[in-house]
Amino acid sequence: MKKLVLGLAAATALAFTGGAQAQGYPTKPITMIVPFAAGGPTDIIARIVADNMSKTLGQQIVIENVAGAGGTTGITRAVTAAPDGYTIAMGHLGTFSAAPATYPGLKYDPINGMQTIGLAGGTPILIVARKTFEPKDLKEFVAYVKANTDKVNEAHAGLGSVSWTTCTLLKGILGTPKINAVAYRGTGPALNDLVSGQVDFMCDQIVSVAEQVRANTIKAYAIASAQRSPALPDVPTTKEAGLPDYQIEAWNGIAGPKGMPKEAVDKLVDALDKALNDEGTKKRLLDLGTVLPTAEERTPAGFAALIKRDADKLTPALSAAPKQ
């Protein structure tokens, strides 16, 4: 049924665009697999970006949500599809950099086994704690956690989630991988128990925690980015606050199967760049707390370097983390 609809849409598009454009890529709608449920942060970013990219490409980018196994089900399907440029995926830090160390049986290789297109945007990570937690700033926090490894509790949104990944990295850097990790089904419930003081601290994306930090129901020690965020200007960076090693961002980016035609890659890179320069698209992304990618990160090579850099950073901590 789906194929029939796509086919019809393609035929209609052909009839309208005429022969000249039909020669080159793309001649039919492109499927962008989002490996999470509709409505989540990755899905929203994918829809915003795909909407503008479709205009540049002259063909619709159709979002298909294939959720499961921390996003690896959808990415597996995308990068093992025919490399014709008509199946791509919007993945994130977890599926591209953390997955190989998180899921031992992973069926794809993000470093050597796929064609990167470019980064769509990054989201800063914050270290937050319950309001009544003793340490006043990041330096005290580090000292306290190291001294009380067997007492503090960290909350996260489940194995493979951004909060689990980034907090496991933090614990690796602090040299305290054994800290009690309490798993929740999603950021919402975890944050709830942080507000009510049941758990001590967590790491999560600025979009999820900013509201509670501003309402002063939880406190933020630092933001793990190079710059402070305009959304929370009072929160220092990890560099300013004394933990320069902890630098991590949750990001979303586009990739496809290895061996895609060069023409398709070039056109997709160009469409992504145009989308990120479009005022309307930019505003919608910035409103979500997204940091726009640099010119370098918008290229296949730049994005691949980012994936590799974060994978190298995460792998030691994630491999050592207790699982399976």
Least distance from another protein to the Cβ atom of residue 44, Å? 10
Our CB check for another protein shows the closer of 77 and 219 to be: 77
Expressed in angstroms, the distance from the first to the final Cα of the chain is 39
* Per-position DSSP letters for 34-60, written without gaps between them: ESS-TTSHHHHHHHHHHHHHHHHHTSP
- Report H helices in 187-299: 187-195, 206-214, 238-241, 262-277, 279-287
Q: Which of 7, 24, 68, 280 binds another protein (CB under 8 A)?
A: 68
Least distance from another protein to the Cβ atom of residue 63, Å? 12
Q: Is 288 in the site for another protein (CB under 8 A)?
A: no
Least distance from another protein to the Cβ atom of residue 308, Å? 23
Choices 10-18, 137-145, 153-161, 289-297 (CB under 8 A): range interacting with another protein: 153-161
Q: Which of 189, 244, 259, 280 binds another protein (CB under 8 A)?
A: 189
304 to 10, 20, 31, 46, 113: CA distances (angstroms): 32, 33, 21, 19, 11
Least distance from another protein to the Cβ atom of residue 194, Å? 11
Q: Which of 25, 86, 96, 103 binds another protein (CB under 8 A)?
A: 103
CA 171 vs. chain centroid, Å, equals: 20
Would you say 64 and 95 are in contact if contact means Cβ atoms under 8 Å apart? Answer: no
Choices 152-160, 247-255, 295-303, 304-312 (CB under 8 A): range interacting with another protein: 152-160
Q: Is 149 in the site for another protein (CB under 8 A)?
A: no
Choices 192-200, 276-284, 285-293, 306-314 (CB under 8 A): range interacting with another protein: 192-200
Q: Is 199 in the site for another protein (CB under 8 A)?
A: yes
Q: Which positions ≥6 away from 66 have C-beta within 8 Å?
A: 33, 34, 35, 73, 74, 77
CA dihedral for 155, 307, 62, 73, sign (positive or negative):
negative
Q: Which of 6, 9, 22, 67 binds another protein (CB under 8 A)?
A: 67
Q: Which of 80, 153, 315, 319 binds another protein (CB under 8 A)?
A: 153
SS3 193: helix
Q: Is 192 in the site for another protein (CB under 8 A)?
A: yes
Secondary structure letter of residue 247 according to DSSP: -
Our CB check for another protein shows the closer of 195 and 305 to be: 195
E strand or H helix that includes residue 22: helix 2-22
Query: Which positions lie near another protein, rule CB under 8 A?
Result: 2, 37-40, 67-70, 73, 102-103, 150, 153, 158-160, 180-186, 188-189, 192-193, 195-196, 198-199, 211, 322-324
